Structure 1
């Protein structure tokens, strides 16, 4: 017996009247003939999900083979999450998003993730995973919704999503009474992407090459994504010098729209925040100079999904984004008082 094995004595009972023999029920501690206890499986799930350990590290910690650990964790995850008969009970607000599941060439790399946001909206707890469906298409989400009972679908009031129109169409088809809300995380992401694309374009136009550490635009790439009220004195001076150059006026205009978008979501007064976001959409819907091509593209998207974007302000707590602390030294804008936290957009180092 290994040093980390647990020896358990299972009692046997005999009925004095009928001579029937039975064993003590130990299923609460482990499955019959299982190599790992339920507590070990709980630790393995937490290690994989919360601490991001690999299956190999989990197997090493439990003293079992990789295949044993992997099979046991998958079975426990299915038992806890998928096979729970009550996991769909009381769901009124859901969120849908895509996620890169695997980084290999074989099979679909993406999955559609559906989560329960009811507790987040009600302020009673965190979001809860409902399911993951292979693929990231309209049909994947539509099929999943169609498989749910009509009574469950009728109970869903709000669906939070990103800018993918497939999720929007699937929601309209299967949940016609539900309100679609475009996740604020993705709205800010769109504005941040426009800012990065503008910065890269101006970088190439003015310098003839992609960003280098001595180039002002490249040096300010993170500062541009910092909330205006979080800027240090040094960062303010750096931005002032950057925007003083006439060649960078397009970057300044795009940066202004990005900051206005973030400020709308950070506004604690929902009605005022809604008006601020409406003003951003109106600004981008008319009279944008042709040179600001990134803002023109952004404006088309925001105008098309204006109803879904503004619906967030009438339904606080409807967001797939998770709250996290922000500091003045962070390269992200601070989270608003409620449930939304911005995130830096992906910016390749060679730009």
Structure 2
């Protein structure tokens, strides 16, 4: 199974990270940019025997990546990364909050809406109750977000599908254009979201790789040459025992 995510090379200049998350976790490649063609070319250049063995690919909610993976690996199942699904939900809820503030002139607290409802303090729970009472549209966004959490808490795929289908129906029946668009996005990604309950794969390991990359960039005081950057990052993930037996790689 593969995990694909992006990280910042410099500012908004992004690169794609490809890792294997099963049966062994390892960094496979750092691509020079985040373009769809670059990712698709990398996947197509994998040996045919390797491509046939890839059962699932975990990605965030990028339609371009989904299409690239489907074309290059038609036999692989696409899994939407749970973290990115919830992150996207929080972003949409916060945007709805800001719009409501601008329209009504009433300040709405951010954390009661973004924080897991089960973890709210008494004060935050009271603030959320007030939002539900006086700001129905924002409350609807918040409901969708919490239901998506329940999708991942579900004990099996059928239970998750029932929750997600209700969410999609409610969102696509809304009068708010942003909520309607969210419902359409969830409909497009329905199978990929539910695939988590079959494969139980996420981009967690890849995010850990990105944390190490950030540390290496800081230690190195940044990079100006892409090729050197990629080589040094890949070198950092080679096991130490293997490096000591091949010292020529360090020169």
TM, length-normalised to structure 2: 0.76
Question: More helix per residue: 1 or 2?
Answer: 2
**1:17: which partner in 2?**
none
Q: How does 1:104-123 map to 2 (within 5 A)?
A: 109-119=13-23
Moved more, 236-245 or 129-138: 236-245
- 2:101–2:107 CA contact under 8 A, matched in 1: no
Structure 2 CA distance for aligned equivalents of residues 303 and 156 of structure 1 = 25
Structure 2 CA distance for aligned equivalents of residues 202 and 140 of structure 1 = 40
Q: How does 1:242-321 map to 2 (within 5 A)?
A: 242-245=131-134, 248-285=135-172, 287-289=173-175, 292-316=176-200, 318-321=201-204
- 1:197–1:294 CA contact under 8 A, matched in 2: no
Structure 1 residues 314 and 278 mapped into 2: Cα distance closer, same or farther (>3 Å)?
A: farther
Between the two proteins, the alignment pairs up a number of residues equal to 207
Structure 2 CA distance for aligned equivalents of residues 282 and 314 of structure 1 = 23
For structure 1, list consecutive stretches of 5 or more residues without a partner in the other structure.
1-92, 120-124, 208-214, 323-351
Structure 2 CA distance for aligned equivalents of residues 319 and 131 of structure 1 = 18
SS state at 2:146 partner: helix
For structure 2, list consecutive stretches of 5 or more residues without a partner in the other structure.
206-251
Spell out structure 1 runs of 4+ moving beyond 3 A: 268-271
- 2:157–2:194 CA contact under 8 A, matched in 1: no
Structure 2 CA distance for aligned equivalents of residues 302 and 172 of structure 1 = 18
- 1:190–1:298 CA contact under 8 A, matched in 2: no
**1:164: which partner in 2?**
62
**2:233: which partner in 1?**
none
CA deviation profile, 1:259-288 (whole Å, cap 9, x unmatched): 111121123444323322232223223x21
Q: 1:241: Cα distance to partner?
A: 2.4
CA RMSD of aligned residues (A): 2.1
**1:98: which partner in 2?**
6
Structure 1 residues 321 and 223 mapped into 2: Cα distance closer, same or farther (>3 Å)?
A: farther
Q: 1:243: Cα distance to partner?
A: 2.7
